[in-house]
């Protein structure tokens, strides 16, 4: 079967030289509208002449992804650290591919990334699993050019069809996750520079318009070569 014909965004020769593609991440609580907005952003980018690929984490198709899937569906139990490292490994197994696509000129729009990785694990309140510990295995991954954070309170998120049976789909967990996400915005490290907050309680159309107003500028600058080079996630400074 010709899999290329299934690509919703087949390569189009750019009209202007492209220094590289951008790496855009969409983050937020369960039901915040991430998948909806990734789709809309990709459609807008492609219609505007950019080459684009949508990806998501966890990628449940790889062998590691299948182990994560079993855990999320409560079919298997795992130590908090062990499952955390599998989530990170699931991103690492895609890291070289992400860099390659970006260097070819594709903008990658990514549904969840290491931000979710660290805040969901830290939200478990395991005293031996701090936010700092949780972030460490992701140091060195491609750093996003921008992170769209869809801000929604847990109650509102729950009203959107309710939570399912998966591991983290509980109100208290989601509230802690949201606090940790918001904490990253004000922490003063690279995440505070990369994150942009959007009110995800507005209509999907309005959220999409607000995201487009900001992200189209970022992608334009990246493609024109006036943004920084694609970075790597750096260490947080040691706490004294």
Residue 99: C-alpha distances to residues 64, 105, 172, 230, 231 (Å): 20, 10, 36, 8, 10
Residues 7-66 that bind Mg ion (CB under 5 A): 34-35
Q: Which is nearer to Mg ion, 20 or 34 (CB)?
A: 34
- Residue closer to ligand ATP by CB (options 18, 177) is 177
Q: Print the binding letters for residues 206-225 with ligand ATP: x by CB under 6 A, - otherwise.
A: -x------------------
CB 22 within 8 A of CB 107: yes
Q: Write each residue from 155 to 194 as x if it is in contact with ligand ATP (CB under 6 A), else as -, in one continuous string.
A: -----xx---------------------------------
Neighbours of 6 (CB within 10 A): 8
Q: Tell me which of 31, 53, 135, 146 binds ligand ATP, using CB under 6 A.
A: 31
Q: CB of residue 46 vs ligand ATP: minimum separation in angstroms? A: 18
- DSSP secondary structure letter of residue 232: B
CA distance 27 to 38: 10
d(CA 204, CA 202): 6
Question: Residues interacting with ligand ATP, by CB under 6 A?
Answer: 28, 30-36, 160-161, 203-204, 207
């Amino acid at each position: 079967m010709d899999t290329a014909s299934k690509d919703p965004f087949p390569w189009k020769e750019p009209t202007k030289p492209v220094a590289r593609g951008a790496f855009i991440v969409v983050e937020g609580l369960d039901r915040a509208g991430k998948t909806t907005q990734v789709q809309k952003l990709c459609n807008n980018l492609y219609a505007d002449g950019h080459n684009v690929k949508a990806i998501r984490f966890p990628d449940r198709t790889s062998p590691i992804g299948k182990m994560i899937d079993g855990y999320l569906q409560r079919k298997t139990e795992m130590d908090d650290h062990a499952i955390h490292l599998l989530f990170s490994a699931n991103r690492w197994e895609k890291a070289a591919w992400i860099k390659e696509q970006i260097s070819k000129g594709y903008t990658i729009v990514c549904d969840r990334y290491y931000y979710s990785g660290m805040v969901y694990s830290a939200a478990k309140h395991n005293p031996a699993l701090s936010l700092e510990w949780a972030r460490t295995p992701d140091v060195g991954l491609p750093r996003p050019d921008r992170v769209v954070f869809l801000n929604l309170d847990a109650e509102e998120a729950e009203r959107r069809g309710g939570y399912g049976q998966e591991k983290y789909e509980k109100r208290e967990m989601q509230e802690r996750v949201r606090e940790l996400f918001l904490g990253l915005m004000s922490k003063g490290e690279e995440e505070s520079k990369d994150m942009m907050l959007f009110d995800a309680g507005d209509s999907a159309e309005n959220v999409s318009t607000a995201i487009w107003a900001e992200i189209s500028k970022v992608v334009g600058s990246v493609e024109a070569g006036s943004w920084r080079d694609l970075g790597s996630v750096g260490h947080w400074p040691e706490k004294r």
